[in-house]
Every structure is written in C-alpha cells, then in structure tokens.
C-alpha cells in the first residue's frame, strides 16, 4: 500500500500521514466548495443553464485536481477561478458585447498557450527571475488576500460608499457566525488540535443552523441529500471560431493569460512556502508539472463550458492542516466527484463557516515577511507594494505585476542597475504595456 501511495501521489510514509492528507483534502475542499454555488450564479447572467454550469464547474475541478494529484503529486486543488469568471461574464460578454461562445474560445486558446509556455519552460523562467524578496512578499500578500476574502464572505468586512470598505454588523447574521467561527477555530489552532481548521468549519456550520441571515432563514439549511447532475451538453465544446483572428480575441486571450499566469504563480509560490516545498533561493520543486496541470485544466474546463480553471489559493487551508502530497489533491478530486451527486449537502455549508479557515490560514502565511530585509528599501518597498496591492486591488496578479514594475523602476532610479536582470527589465516593460494597452 505504501509503495502504491508513493508512486501514485509522491507520498512518503516517513514524513506523511494518510489521515493527515485526507483531512487536509477535506479542509481544502470545504474552503473552496463555494465555487460550486458561485460559478453557476455568475454565469446565469448570460442565460447559460445553471445546472450545466454547475456540472461543468465540478468536472473541471475534478479533472484539474486529479492531474495535479497524479502527475504533479502536489497538495494543490484547482477549479474555475474567481475574478477570471467575472472577467469572462461581465467584461468580455456583457461589456464588450461578445457571446459566451466567443469567451469560451478565448479560454481554450489561452489554455493551449499555457501548455506551450510550460513545455518551453517560459513560465519557469519568469518565475525564477522574480527576486527572493518579492517571492517572500507574494506569500504574505496572499495570506492577507485570502483573509480579506474570508472576512468579506462572512460580512465582517462590508461595502461602504465613503470609505470603500468598513466593519460590518458583527452582532447579527453571517458576520456574527463568522466571528464565532474565528474564535472557535483560533482556539483549536492555539490548542494544537489535529484537524482544527476542518473541525472549525464543521462546528461553525452546525451553529449556523441556529443563526438567521438577512432573509430570516437559517444560515445553514439543507435542501436535500442527493441530486442527479445536469448534462453539460448545452455548453460542451461550444466554440466560436469566426473571430479567432480578431483584435478583440487577441486582447481577451492575453488578458486571460496575464491574470491566470500570475495568479497561478503567486498561489504556487505562497502555498509552497507554507508547505516547505521551496529551496533557499525560493525555487519551487516540481514547478513545471504544477504549471502543466494548471494548463491542462484550463483547456478541459473550456471544453466543458466554464471559465479558466486555475490553482486555488484555498489550497493553503489544506497545507495548513499538514497536506504535503498528491493524496491531499486526490481527496479533493474525489469530493468534487461526490459533489456531483450530493451537491445539496456540500452547498449547505455557508460562506461564513469557511471564512474562519481563510482568516487563520492567512495568519499562517504571514511568516515569510520575517525573511524580508526591511532596512534595505530597494527590496522592502517593492515587497511592501506587492503585499499591499493583493488585498486592496483584490488581485494576486496585480500585486505581482506592480511589485515587479516597482522593483525595476525604484532600483533603476536609485542607480542600482546591477540588481535588475534582463528578464526583470523585460517583465517590467511587458507589465507596463499590459496596464496601458489591455
């Protein structure tokens, strides 16, 4: 059995525990299962069948995560990405006026480009060119970003027209449940209880049965147990090739490419640091295989009828529980398969119940900031910009792009040209062009 796990998932019996890997997988799934409810809701704005989009979302996550588990043998999970789905629906389709078939074609082409960039090792070349201080900053920035997502999902942080964000009403509803969950999960983590994050999610979900939301209904409510999945036939391989050579297609493909590439890079760097899967130079072991899994998932997702499938930052919650091998990802994949049949159960867990997990994992991911030389402002200012911009711009990729641009410009203005590699100059120029022209 041990030999099978080692060959299939990179499982090391001397370092890993089957129980820990499975618990980590369940934890990761629970923190990202919201995409099964959110994605169909977003795509309904295009009159795409919600049931078909739900099935496509689960299948894309299943396939992508299986590739990550069996080929890359890493504890990362994949699913259609938040932000990328919004760009697909609200920008490409509703603002630019293109059909969802046009957008799916762009996602498919982006996935093929990703495979090409991975095979030629361009993605690894770009990743290795990023300075170590920025790599440390990426991990910490993602920690703040996912904590912010958690607080927002629970309503602890709410919209404010004057200040953009403000503290929500934490005495009622989802925000109250989120606060309770943070206290419970935090206490379990302090006490070093095994499976503390997963236990926190489950206990908070149970408490949600007794707390009402804004609509007067309990925050945790079951609508059934088993539901047969809808067919993906209405959206399967619905590509539109007539505009493949248009400028709009080029712009959309490269926008998807930029966002997905640097979201994925940031997630892999940040979560790998937490998992201890980086060397002293900040290089990630097995990065090419992880990129390939991400690329294949994007192509498969487009064929199934959903937006770009990417590596999820919520994988950090499973890593926080001790997940270190492909067995963690395999567990997530199995749960996405089960979700196709038992969707009412999985979808019953409210966002407020998973919020505490994201906040606690955010804390766990802040440790790399101690490795940044804050007295060397040529390193610390770009690092700080990277950390800051991820949550405030609500984008991992923007944090990385602005960090790279600021690193090149600040060091150039200070006359520290030797610190800026040719690759960094090229990246900075490309990123500036991205903001100007795309």
% of the chain at pLDDT higher than 70: 98
Q: Which of 39-53, 235-249, 287-301 has the lowest mean pLDDT?
A: 39-53
Average pLDDT (306-325) is 91
Report whether pLDDT(315) > 70: yes
CA 315 to mean position of chain CA atoms: 7
Q: How far is CA 359 from CA 14, 137, 200, 362, 381, in A?
A: 31, 18, 12, 5, 25
Q: Which of 262-266, 401-405, 407-411 has the lowest mean pLDDT?
A: 262-266
Average pLDDT (218-222) is 86
Report whether pLDDT(170) > 90: yes
For residues 193 and 412, the model is more confident at 412
Give the chain's domain count.
Answer: 1
Question: Per residue in 244-294, pLDDT tens?
Answer: 888 889 888 988 887 788 888 888 888 888 788 887 777 788 888 999 999
Mean residue pLDDT of the chain comes to 89
Question: Per residue in 331-349, pLDDT tens?
Answer: 999 999 999 988 777 667 8
Question: Per residue in 66-118, pLDDT tens?
Answer: 999 999 999 999 999 877 887 888 878 988 899 999 999 999 999 999 999 98
- Say what angle helices 196-207 and 351-364 make with each other, to 10 degrees: 150
Which residue segment(s) compose the domain that 179 sits in?
2-437
Spatial distance between the Cα atoms of 398 and 262, rounded to a whole number of angstroms:
8
Six-digit token string for 321: 């529980």
Average pLDDT (107-135) is 88
CA 87 to mean position of chain CA atoms: 15
Spatial distance between the Cα atoms of 202 and 194, rounded to a whole number of angstroms:
14
Binning pLDDT at 50, 70 and 90, where does residue 438 land? low
Q: In the chain, what is the straight-line distance between the N-terminal and C-terminal CA atoms, in Å?
A: 51
Coil vs helix vs strand at 79: strand
Report whether pLDDT(362) > 70: yes
Six-digit token string for 433: 């062009």
Residue 222 backbone phi and psi in degrees, to 5: -95, 135
Residues near 85 by Cβ (< 8 Å), separated by ≥ 6? 38, 39, 42, 43, 306, 307, 308
Average pLDDT (302-312) is 94
Binning pLDDT at 50, 70 and 90, where does residue 149 land? confident
% of the chain at pLDDT higher than 90: 48
Spatial distance between the Cα atoms of 184 and 207, rounded to a whole number of angstroms:
11
Give the residues across from 160 on adjacent strands. 164
Task: Note the pLDDT of residue 382.
Answer: 97
Report whether pLDDT(223) > 80: no
Q: Are 93 and 106 in contact (CB under 8 A)?
A: no
- pTM assigned to the model: 0.79
């Amino acid at each position: 059995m041990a030999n099978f796990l080692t060959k299939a998932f990179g499982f090391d019996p001397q370092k890993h525990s089957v129980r820990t890997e499975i618990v980590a997988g369940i934890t990761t799934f629970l923190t990202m299962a919201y995409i099964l409810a959110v994605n169909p809701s977003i795509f309904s704005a295009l009159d795409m069948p919600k049931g078909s989009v739900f099935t496509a979302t689960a299948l894309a996550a299943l396939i992508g995560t299986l590739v990550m588990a069996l080929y890359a043998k890493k504890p990362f999970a994949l699913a259609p990405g938040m932000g990328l789905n919004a760009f697909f629906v609200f920008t490409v389709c509703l603002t630019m006026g293109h059909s969802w078939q046009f957008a799916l074609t762009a996602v498919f082409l982006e996935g093929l480009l990703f495979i090409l960039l991975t095979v030629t090792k361009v993605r690894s070349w770009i990743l290795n060119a990023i300075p170590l201080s920025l790599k440390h900053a990426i991990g910490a920035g993602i920690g703040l970003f996912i904590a912010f997502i958690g607080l927002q999902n629970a309503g602890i942080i709410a919209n404010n027209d004057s200040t953009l964000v403000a503290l929500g009403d934490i005495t009622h509803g989802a925000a109250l449940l989120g606060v309770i969950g943070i206290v419970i999960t935090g206490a379990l983590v302090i006490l070093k209880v095994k499976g503390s994050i997963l236990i926190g999610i489950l206990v908070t979900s149970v408490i949600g049965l007794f707390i009402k939301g804004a609509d007067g209904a309990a925050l945790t409510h079951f609508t059934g147990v088993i539901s047969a999945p809808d067919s993906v036939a209405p959206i399967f391989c619905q590509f539109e090739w007539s505009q493949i050579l248009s400028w709009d297609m080029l712009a959309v493909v490269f926008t998807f490419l930029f966002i997905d590439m640097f979201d994925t890079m940031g997630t892999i760097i940040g979560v790998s640091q937490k998992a201890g899967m980086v060397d002293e130079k900040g290089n990630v072991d097995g990065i090419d295989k992880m990129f390939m899994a991400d690329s294949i998932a994007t192509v498969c997702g487009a064929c199934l009828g959903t937006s770009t499938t990417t590596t999820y930052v919520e994988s950090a919650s499973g890593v926080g529980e001790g997940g270190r091998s492909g067995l963690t990802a395999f567990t997530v994949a199995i749960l996405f398969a089960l979700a196709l049949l038992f969707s009412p159960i999985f979808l019953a867990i409210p966002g407020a119940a998973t919020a505490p997990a994201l906040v606690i994992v955010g804390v766990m991911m802040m440790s790399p900031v101690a490795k940044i030389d804050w007295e060397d402002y040529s390193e610390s200012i770009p690092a700080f910009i990277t950390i800051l911009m991820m949550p405030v711009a609500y984008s991992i990729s923007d944090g990385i792009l602005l960090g790279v641009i600021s690193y090149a410009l600040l060091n150039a203005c200070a006359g520290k040209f030797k610190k800026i590699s040719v690759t960094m100059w090229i990246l900075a120029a490309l990123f500036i062009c991205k903001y100007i022209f795309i």
